Amino acid sequence: MASDQKLILASGSPRRIDLLNQAGIEPDRMMPMDIDETAKKSEHPRSLARRLSSEKAEAALAAIKGDLAWRHSYILSADTVVAVGRRILEKTEFTEEAASALHLLSGRGHWVYTGICLVTPGGQFRQKVVQTKVRFKRLSAHEIDNYIASGQWRGKAGAYAIQGIAGSFVQKMVGSYTNVVGLPLYETLSLLSGEGFDVQARWPEG
């Protein structure tokens, strides 16, 4: 029964929760997983996104082991990586890091990879990596300084949040917009529905 299905989101990201809510889905439980997100030597950004999403799902699965209330839940995890070529741009916490990242992104293209991982109630893992090409306009030093002053870069991969002020920096985009926000909705819902999760059962009634 669809009403018996439970969805655990192995993330505490407000953006991912908002995106799922936009699609009519309210996770039954949020389980942010604290894992080491350091890239391995020579690891490709796409591989990193895939590995981290898998490790978050594995950690969430281990955390509910033995808990009968959540034993047959769906577990959804995701990880977003921003890169210029093979150079991975970490989540920024300091103004110097943010300024460096924005100067690097200014006037050039970069890739956003989101790895999504779904654990089925039967314990099977289903994964997909979605990529989007984004090109920023050339940013002036004044724009970068003012954006840093806004604080919207803090804790964001690549030092920007496309759903905020930085959306005005985007000159061109090829691929999924929701992927850049942090969770590619089409691919995520396709994974869920393909594994028997009744997405539409959670849609609100008018």
Provide the token pair at 25: 């889905």
Opening angle at CA 27, ends 80 and 183, nearest 5:
20
Question: Each residue of 183-202: pLDDT tens digit?
Answer: 999 999 999 999 999 999 88
Question: Each residue of 49-94: pLDDT tens digit?
Answer: 999 999 999 999 999 998 889 989 999 999 999 999 999 998 999 9
Residue 205, pLDDT > 90, answer: no
Predicted pLDDT of residue 203: 85
Confidence of residue 1 (pLDDT cuts 50, 70, 90): very low
Confidence of residue 4 (pLDDT cuts 50, 70, 90): confident
Confidence of residue 100 (pLDDT cuts 50, 70, 90): very high
Question: Which segments within the chain are labelled E, that is strand?
Answer: 7-9, 29-30, 74-84, 87-89, 109-119, 125-136, 170-174
- Report, as residue numbers or ranges, the catalytic residues: 79
Predicted pLDDT of residue 169: 98
Rounded to the nearest integer, the mean pLDDT of the chain is 94
CB atoms under 10 Å from CB of 72, counted, come to 14
How far, in Å, CA of 23 to CA of 186, rounded? Answer: 9
